Every structure is written in C-alpha cells, then in structure tokens.
C-alpha cells in the first residue's frame, strides 16, 4: 500500500503543475522566464574566462604643464581702481601724491616688512641647510666626512645650549620690561593728578572733562581700561609660568615659555596702543575746544609713546627668541641625521628624501620672497593718481585703499569662487574673448584680487579686475567677456595622470624591472602587453597635475618606461583601448572650476 502511494506521488505532482499552468498562463510564463534567466546567470558565472591584465606603457619625457582658469565677467564702465595691499601692517612710506602719473609696476607705498624679511632669511638659511644635507646624502662617506659629521653634532649641540641660555636671558629681560610697562600704564591711567580733579583717576577725569563735547570719548576710555585689565591678567599668568620655569628647563618648555611671554607681550602692546589712542583723543579735544592743557597731559603722552617703542621691541625679541630655539633644535637633528647618513652610506631612500627636502626648501624661499614682495604696493597699470588715502605710520590691510588710480585703459570685472580665488595673483597674464565680438581677442593682466569675499546663498565669491594690455574701440562697457588666466606653469618630466597612483598618502607609478622590449610593446599596440612578471612600485613626487598630465619632480628619469594604464582582457575594455591611449599624448583638458563658473585648463607641451 505504501509503495503504491509513493509511485503515485510524481504523477500527482505533475497533474497539479499541469493544472496550475493551464489555469494560470500569465504567471506560468513569468516563472519560466525567471528560471531561464537564473540558469543563464549561473552558467555565465562559471563559464566566463578569467581576466588577464594588459598594460599600456609610455616613455617618460620632458614637457611643460600650463594651468589656467577660465572665468567670465563684464567690461567695466569705470576706469578707476582702488589700489589695495596684499599684506597688512604699518605704512612706512608713501611715494605718490594726487595728480602724479605712475607706470605699471611702480612702487607707490611700502608697508613694514620686518617680519617678512626675517621669514625670507630663515627660509634661505633652511635652504642652505637642505643643500648641504643633499650633498652629504648623495656623496660617498669618507673619514673626513665622518669627522665633519661628528663635529657637526658637537657644534650644533653647543650652539643649542648657547641659544638656550641667551633665550632665557632675553625672556627674563622681557619680564623686566613688562613689569615696568604695566606699572607705567597703571600710572598714566589711574593716578589722580589731573588739575582740579584730585579725587578722580586720570582716565575718568579726562573723559569727564571732554565728555560734554565729545560723545565718543567713552569708547576710547572703555577700550583703554578693558585692554589694560586684559594685559594685567595675561601678565600675571605669564609671570607665574616664568617663575615656575627654571633656567635648566628643557628646550620644549622654554619654547612654551617664549610663546606664553609673547602672548602676554601682545596683550600689553594692545593696552599701550589703546592708551595712546585715548590720550591722543584727549589732546585733540583739548585743542579743538580750546581747553587749557595741563602740563601732565604732555608728560603722559610722552610716557605712552616710550612704552609703545619698548613693547614693540620686546615683541620682536621674543619672536626671534622662539625662532632661534627651534632653528637650533633643527640644526642638532640635522647634524645627527648627517652622521647617520655618513655612517650607513647613501641609499635610494635617503637621496629621494634629501631631494624632497631640498625642493621644499626652495619652494619655501620662493614663497617667502613673494610674501616679502607683497609688502610693496605697486601700481597695477599706468595712469594718474586721483587720490591718496593714507599717510606714513597708518595701519593698512587687505581692504585699505592706498590710492585711487584713473586710467584710459579698459577693465574687465570678474567674480570667482573661493577655490579659484586662491590661484589668482596680481600680474598674471590672460587672454580675453567677447561674446559680441567673436573675432576679437585681447591680452590682459590681473590688476587686483579682492582679499575679502562676499557670501550669497551660502556661496563665497571674490571680485577681481583685469586690465587690457591694449584698448580696442569695438569693446564697449558692459560687454560680456571670457578670460583665460594663466595661473601656473611647470616644466619637468611629464607623465599621464592615469599612471600616478596613491597608497597610504604616498604617490607612486608602476614599471617593469627590467623594462619590456620595444618590439613587444610595439606589437601589442593599443591592446596592451601582457607580462608574467608583476610590475613594481616606484615612489615619486608629483608637481603640477591635472586629469590628463602630471609633472614628476623626483623618482623618475627621462627615458624611463612606465605603465600608463592597466587594462582588463574583456571585449569592452579592448574595444576601447585605442580611445584610452589618446590620453597619453598632448592635448587640453578642462575641469570644472566650481560654482563660480570658472574652469581649470591644463596643457602638456612636449619639448
């Protein structure tokens, strides 16, 4: 009985399936298609051939990458331009007057560049150190080199100790000055020696005397008092740290003390400035309203002026002190590295590291030199001085209009996004085309770039002005124009950008060691070559780059064979291999420049 039921089971199932298929034709078709597709996918997975990598190779050659921004704007209806500095500081010299004619590039004002000159000097010293290190890391060690390396450590450590002692003495001297400065400020502000006001502190007495005429004197009074209180608090905190730091403290502790001292000195400098502004306002009011000036006022103004000179000197001294300690520590570290290199002998990593350090030091010098140049305000174009808005000893910043120039040259106003704004500098060259004049192309020069941006709907933009090198009568105010601005060029070993890879924050390219034969590469063509040997990684340093090309500053040599791109042996990839190789040659690539509508354009020019 049981056997009979078992034999009847398949027949029953088949009958039920047949009945379902007959009564549900649509769902039966759907289920059948799903089963067929699933079977096809399983078959494809197990039957597909394994992919084999193919490599497109290229030869490293010298070339030039040119970076440019494409921005749009309108021809300006005005031929006036406010000349603003790119740096901030005290104006030490103004060299023009209203009515003067100036030429493009002429210096019209100078800002105090003491810190910038010091930064350039430090960068130059670091470059000299990097050059020496590079020479030592790339040269074979001798007994003389070993002796010099050991002596270098001794000399550097001795110099560090001397710098340590000198720095501590400088900091101690600064605290003597700070104590005197706080006392002097307290005296001029809070003594009670204003005539006819024996029970009032000077700051309140003077403010009350002129307050009936000068409604703003309270602002000056409150600023002077507030900054004085802040200076006292900063001084008390700093003097406590100083007293807790012995002369034998570590170099790091001494650097921290120098920073604390500098912060306190800055607070005292601000208090001194605000006190000077207060007394200067009082002196002006006494003159303006024909008050009888007390003799004590002149004495107090002289005291504040003396304090200003003292605190400015202390700021410079403390900043130099901190820099000297750091430089001396660096010198010791470099001397020890030099001995290590001399002992172990030069290797590939040491040479590449030294080359990278040298390149960074060279870049730092160029940056410092450019920063120093920013303290000289120059005329962006030839024209006449309509107004001079500052004088010597005024404070100027990025938004300060030093002078207003009037020119007959035509101007182009553009607005760029915050990413592109970082790439713009005064003096960069550009070509300009016009929507309404398709046959007209004019050369232009960037004459100004706003330092402060404007925000609209959450987007930050910066204004910039270009001056046409030559005028064209066809160009009218308000015309729309497009400017291609060259922002940078770099000549060196140029490789396809697809060849550069990154892992762990380090850049590298892949190459075969030994290189593949030229015949094999030529025979493979656009399909790419196969190799039983896996490629090796070569660390490189990348300079200017874009989606098409990259300049390699270290790690490769001209003529090296590298892998430009890795392909998979599939029908789709191989059918597009010829198209992929077009990226290995010269050409032009445009990449979106941001919400401001600008584009970045790069060209690789073979040499």
Residue 354, SS3 per DSSP = helix
Lowest mean pLDDT among 40-54, 173-187, 479-493: 40-54
pLDDT of residue 24: 65
pLDDT of residue 581: 45
pLDDT of residue 197: 85
The per-residue pLDDT for range 556-566, each reduced to its tens digit, is 888 888 988 88
Cα 92 from Cα 391, distance rounded (Å):
8
Q: What separation in angstroms does the CA of 141 have from each of 147, 150, 152, 341?
A: 10, 13, 15, 8
Nearest to 195 by CA among 298, 295, 289: 295
pLDDT bracket for residue 47 (50, 70, 90): low
pLDDT above 60 (res 50) = no
Instruction: Using CB atoms within 10 Å of the CB of residue 362, give its burial: 0 to 12 exposed, 13 to 18 middle, 19+ buried.
Output: middle
pLDDT of residue 570: 45
Residue 505, SS3 per DSSP = coil
CATH 1.25.10.10 fits 54-64+491-606, yes or no: no
Q: Dihedrals φ, ψ of 216, to 5°?
A: -95, 0
pLDDT of residue 233: 95
pLDDT of residue 596: 43
Task: Tokens for 316, please give them.
Answer: 């410079």
Which one is predicted more confidently, 122 or 156? Answer: 122
Cα 293 from Cα 194, distance rounded (Å):
10
DSSP state of 408: S
The per-residue pLDDT for range 154-189, each reduced to its tens digit, is 888 888 888 888 888 889 888 998 999 999 999 999
The per-residue pLDDT for range 372-409, each reduced to its tens digit, is 998 999 988 788 898 999 999 999 987 788 999 887 77
Residue 161, Ramachandran bin (φ over 0: left; ψ between -120 and 50: alpha; else beta)? alpha
pLDDT of residue 421: 87
H/E segment holding residue 346 = none
pLDDT of residue 591: 36
Cα 353 from Cα 524, distance rounded (Å):
37
CATH 1.20.140 fits 140-345, yes or no: yes
Residue 428, SS3 per DSSP = coil
Residue 450, SS3 per DSSP = coil
pLDDT above 80 (res 317) = yes
pLDDT of residue 26: 67
The per-residue pLDDT for range 273-310, each reduced to its tens digit, is 999 999 999 999 999 999 888 888 989 999 999 999 99
Q: What angle do CA 110, 114, 115 make, to 5 degrees?
A: 120
H/E segment holding residue 449 = strand 441-449
pLDDT above 50 (res 571) = no
pLDDT above 50 (res 9) = yes
Lowest mean pLDDT among 146-160, 178-192, 430-444: 146-160
Residue with token string 């309108």: 74
Q: How many CB atoms lie within 10 A of CB 598?
A: 25
Task: Tokens for 278, please give them.
Answer: 């207060």
pLDDT of residue 383: 84
Average pLDDT of the residues in 90-100 = 92
CATH 3.90.79.10 fits 69-111+377-486, yes or no: no
Which one is predicted more confidently, 52 or 529? Answer: 529
Residue 463, SS3 per DSSP = strand
pLDDT bracket for residue 582 (50, 70, 90): very low
Cα 313 from Cα 576, distance rounded (Å):
69
The per-residue pLDDT for range 185-214, each reduced to its tens digit, is 999 999 998 888 889 999 999 999 999 899
pLDDT above 70 (res 599) = no
pLDDT of residue 457: 86
pLDDT of residue 477: 84
pLDDT of residue 51: 59
Residue with token string 């960069």: 428
One DSSP character per residue, 200-263 reads S-HHHHHHHHHHTT-TTHHHHHHHHHHHHHHHHHHHHHHHHHHHHS-TT--HHHHHHHHHHHHH
444-466 burial, b at 16+ Cβ within 10 Å, e below that, comes to bbbbbbbeebeeeeeeebbbbbb
pLDDT bracket for residue 577 (50, 70, 90): very low
pLDDT of residue 325: 85
- How confident is the prediction for the chain on average, in pLDDT? 82
Nearest to 108 by CA among 427, 378, 372: 378
pLDDT of residue 22: 67
Percent of the chain exceeding pLDDT 70 equals: 82
Residues 6 or more apart whose CB falls under 8 angstroms from that of 319 comprise 115, 262
pLDDT of residue 284: 93
153-173 burial, b at 16+ Cβ within 10 Å, e below that, comes to beebeebbeebbeebbebbee
Residues 6 or more apart whose CB falls under 8 angstroms from that of 482 comprise 70, 71, 72, 432, 433, 434, 435
The per-residue pLDDT for range 495-541, each reduced to its tens digit, is 998 889 988 878 998 998 888 888 888 877 777 787 777 888 899 98
Cα 331 from Cα 323, distance rounded (Å):
12
pLDDT of residue 606: 44
Average pLDDT of the residues in 144-148 = 73
Which one is predicted more confidently, 217 or 587? Answer: 217
pLDDT of residue 140: 61
pLDDT of residue 492: 87
pLDDT of residue 42: 57
Distance of CA 361 to the CA centre of its chain: 15
pLDDT bracket for residue 579 (50, 70, 90): very low
pLDDT above 50 (res 234) = yes
Rounded to a whole number, what is the distance in angstroms from the first to the last CA of the chain? 95
Average pLDDT of the residues in 462-484 = 89
């Amino acid at each position: 009985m049981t056997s009979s039921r078992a034999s009847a089971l398949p027949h029953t199932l088949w009958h039920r399936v047949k009945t379902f298929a007959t009564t549900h034709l649509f769902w039966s078709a759907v289920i059948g298609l799903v089963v067929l597709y699933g079977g096809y996918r399983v078959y494809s997975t197990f039957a597909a051939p394994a992919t084999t990598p193919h490599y497109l190779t290229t030869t490293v050659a010298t070339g030039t990458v040119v970076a440019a921004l494409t921005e749009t704007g309108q021809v300006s209806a005005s031929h006036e331009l406010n000349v603003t500095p790119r740096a901030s500081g005290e104006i030490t010299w103004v060299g023009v007057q209203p009515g003067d004619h100036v030429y493009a590039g002429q210096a019209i004002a100078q800002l105090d560049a003491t810190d910038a000159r010091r930064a350039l000097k430090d960068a130059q010293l670091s470059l000299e150190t990097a050059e020496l290190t590079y020479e030592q890391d790339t040269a074979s060690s001798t007994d003389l080199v070993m002796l010099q390396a050991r002596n270098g450590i001794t000399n550097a450590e001795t110099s560090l100790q001397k710098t340590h002692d000198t720095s501590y003495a400088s900091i101690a001297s600064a605290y003597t000055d700070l104590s005197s400065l706080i006392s002097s400020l307290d005296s001029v502000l809070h003594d009670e020696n204003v005539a006819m006001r024996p029970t009032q502190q000077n700051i309140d007495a003077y403010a009350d005397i002129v307050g009936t005429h000068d409604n703003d004197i309270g602002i000056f009074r409150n600023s002077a008092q507030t900054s004085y209180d802040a200076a006292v608090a900063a001084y008390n905190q700093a003097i406590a740290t100083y007293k807790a730091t012995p002369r034998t403290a570590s170099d790091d502790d001494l650097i921290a003390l120098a920073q604390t001292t500098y912060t306190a000195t800055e607070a005292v400098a601000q208090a001194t400035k605000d006190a000077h502004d207060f007394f200067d306002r009082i002196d002006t009011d006494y003159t303006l309203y024909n008050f009888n000036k007390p003799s004590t006022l002149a004495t107090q103004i002289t005291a504040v002026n003396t304090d200003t000179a003292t605190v400015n000197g202390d700021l410079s001294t403390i900043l130099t002190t901190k820099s000297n300690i750091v430089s001396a520590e660096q010198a010791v570290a470099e001397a020890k590295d030099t001995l290590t290199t001399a002992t172990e002998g030069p290797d590939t990593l040491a040479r590449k590291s030294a080359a990278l350090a040298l390149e960074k030091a060279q870049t730092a010098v160029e940056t410092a030199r450019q920063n120093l140049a920013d303290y000289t305000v120059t005329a962006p174009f030839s024209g006449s001085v309509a107004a001079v808005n500052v004088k010597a000893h005024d404070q100027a910043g990025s938004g300060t209009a030093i002078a207003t120039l009037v020119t007959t040259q035509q101007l182009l106003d553009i607005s760029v996004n915050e990413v592109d704004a970082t790439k713009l500098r005064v003096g960069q060259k550009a070509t300009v085309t016009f929507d309404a004049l398709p046959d007209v192309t004019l050369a232009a020069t960037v004459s100004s770039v706003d330092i402060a941006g404007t925000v609209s709907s959450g987007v930050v933009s910066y204004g910039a002005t270009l001056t046409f090198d030559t005028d064209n009568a066809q160009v009218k105010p308000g015309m729309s124009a497009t400017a291609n601005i060259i922002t940078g060029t770099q000549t060196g070993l140029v490789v396809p950008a697809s060849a550069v890879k990154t892992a762990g924050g380090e850049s590298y390219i892949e190459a075969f060691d030994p290189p593949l034969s030229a015949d094999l590469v030529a025979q493979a063509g656009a399909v790419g070559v196969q190799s039983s040997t896996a490629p090796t990684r070569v660390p490189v340093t990348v300079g200017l780059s874009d989606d098409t090309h990259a300049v390699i500053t270290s790690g490769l040599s001209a003529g090296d064979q590298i892998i430009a791109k890795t392909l998979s042996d599939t029908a789709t990839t191989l059918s597009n291999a010829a198209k992929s190789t077009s990226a290995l040659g010269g050409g032009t690539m445009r990449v979106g420049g941001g919400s401001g509508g600008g584009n970045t354009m790069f060209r690789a020019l073979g040499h």
